[in-house]
Copies of this chain bind each other. A is one copy, B any other.
Amino acid sequence: MYQKRGDPAGGSLQGWRQRLYTIIFESDTRAGRWFDQGLIVAILLSVAVVVADSVPALHQHWSGLFTSAEWAFTLLFTLEYLLRLACVPHPWRYATSFFGIVDLLALLPTYLALLLPEAHVLIDVRVLRLLRVFRVFKLTAYMTEYRGLALALHASRRKITVFISGVLMVVLVLGTLMYVIEGPTNGFTTIPTSVYWAITTMTTVGFGDITPKTDLGRFISSVMMLLGWGTLAVPTGIVTSEMAAQRQATQGLAAVPVTTRTCPECLSEGHLPEARFCMHCGAPLPPWAHDV
């Protein structure tokens, strides 16, 4: 059981910024949960607008609505961005953190469009706004699962690097080989194109926009496919054995409740409910504000 010192002490420490901080950066209180959920809805809606705007049929009818909605969301996110800066002890440190940069990039495109209205370039950058969605995980109980997957992938990163580099070499060799055998007449116009084809084949995607025509080419690609088939097994084997090992390792360990407490100094998350100091930078943590 945790000794409750959250709510009483919480208010005493630098008043509204403290409360705002808890609402915007954490989500263990009702207000915080509401804020985050609202934010997610807003993000999804703004993405939906971008997507819908790309459909000609919808564009010509509702382009006006889309543009205004676009602006509404941009202003909303701008306000949120400023609030974040306002309630963080070290605004600059937040502005230069990963999510700080993402938040900024998510705003720029709309404003940029005022100076240079190339829709083309605009939409391109707009996509970054989607990265906001990753924040969703901050408030799900799925966080631990997410960590599990990330851990397994991280643990097997070296095996996978070796594997990928090997695949790249094979693909480059085979791609060039096919370029020589089939040649531009059969669609293998350049070595890059052939390598693209080789990757398409090895990964069993097989678009079919480029296909071997000569018998030799077909024989070699048959070997490639069987090769690719076998190789498909390797990453699976890596990740699977990694996960099995993890499962054993974590067996018997007690699961700890995940909080969304955020260190005001280094903005790191996932501190234990009873933690008094940040486990990464050692800075004192504000008391844990949560609903009883």
Residues of A within 8 A of B (CB): 47, 50-51, 54-56, 120, 123-124, 126-127, 130-131, 133-134, 136-137, 141-142, 145-146, 148-149, 152-153, 158-165, 167, 169, 172-173, 176-177, 179-180, 189-193, 195-196, 199-201, 203-209, 211, 215, 218-219, 221-222, 225-226, 228-230, 232-245, 247
Contact A130 B169 (CB under 8 A): yes
Smallest CB gap from A53: residue in B: B191
User: In the complex where A173-B130, A207-B208 touch, is A222 in contact with B237 (Cβ < 8 A)?
Assistant: no
A163 to B136, CA, bound (A): 13
B218–A152 touching, CB < 8 Å: no
Q: What chain B residues lie within 8 Å of A226 (beta carbons)?
A: 164, 167, 199, 203
Contact of A242 among B54, B192, B237 (CB under 8 A): B237
The reply to whether A233 and B230 contact each other, CB–CB distance below 8 Å, is no
Contact A238 B228 (CB under 8 A): no
Q: Which residue of B is nearest A127, CB measured?
A: B176
Does more than half of chain A's interface fall in helix, strand or loop, or is it mixed?
A: helix
By a CB distance below 8 angstroms, the chain B residues around A123 are 176, 179-180
4 residue pairs, one from A and one from B, having the closest CB atoms? A205-B206, A208-B208, A237-B239, A237-B240
**B172/A196 in contact, CB under 8 A:** no
Partner of A51, one of B192, B199, B219, B229: B192
- B residues near A56, Cβ cutoff 8 Å: 189-190
Please, which residues of chain B bring their CB within 8 A of the CB of A234? 149, 153, 239
What residues of chain B lie closer than 8 Å to A218, measured between beta carbons?
Answer: 192-193, 196
Q: In the complex, are the beta carbons of A169 and B51 less than 8 A apart?
A: no
Contact, CB under 8 Å: A233 / B240: yes
Q: What's the least CB distance linking A286 to chain B, in Å?
A: 29
Chain B residues with CB under 8 Å of A163's CB are 149
Say whether B199 contacts A225, CB under 8 Å: yes
Q: How far is the CA of A155 from the CA of B11 in the complex (A)?
A: 41
Query: In the complex, A233 Cα to B137 Cα: how many Å?
Result: 22
A120, B185: Cα distance in complex, Å: 14
10 contacts between A and B (CB under 8 A): A50-B191, A51-B192, A55-B191, A120-B180, A127-B173, A146-B162, A148-B159, A196-B218, A208-B208, A208-B209
